[in-house]
Amino acid sequence: MNIILNYITEILIAAAIGQLMIAAINLRLDKLLLWQDDLKTLPKLLQQVFTVHKWFITITLLIFATITLRFASDIGEARYEMTRWFAAGVGFFWLIRTAIQWFFYSWDNWRGKTKETLIHWTLTFCYGGAAFIYLLAAFQ
């Protein structure tokens, strides 16, 4: 654990860059997953909810990443109570997202499908890793 704490600022910067990447991917998720035709069949309100959620998740991740990049050493050293609260909030955000990956989505979406299983495990690692590093920063 000490080795992680020795490099926590750098790991937080990597996590912030990862969140920027997820934010960029999130904006194109419907195209990447070929959902455009499916979304067109939904009622207009559901299409709009999908778009609003897509943008708000992206904005949230941009805020998390920007604050982390700007204050990585303060967060990593738990220098201020506010940075500890921020790290805890982001950590719990990613912890909940990791749980959703396993307990909300149907396993039928990925089980027995090589590409989908790889994506599932990659997301689990990324989300869980972000949760771990932010919570470590918060509660060190």
Contact (Cβ atoms closer than 8 angstroms) between residue 21 and residue 32: no
Distance CA 41, CA 53 (A): 18
pLDDT in tens, the chain (140 residues): 788 889 999 999 999 999 999 999 999 989 988 899 999 999 999 999 999 999 999 999 999 999 999 999 999 999 999 999 999 999 999 999 999 999 999 999 889 999 889 999 999 999 999 999 999 999 99
pTM of the model: 0.91
pLDDT number for residue 4: 84
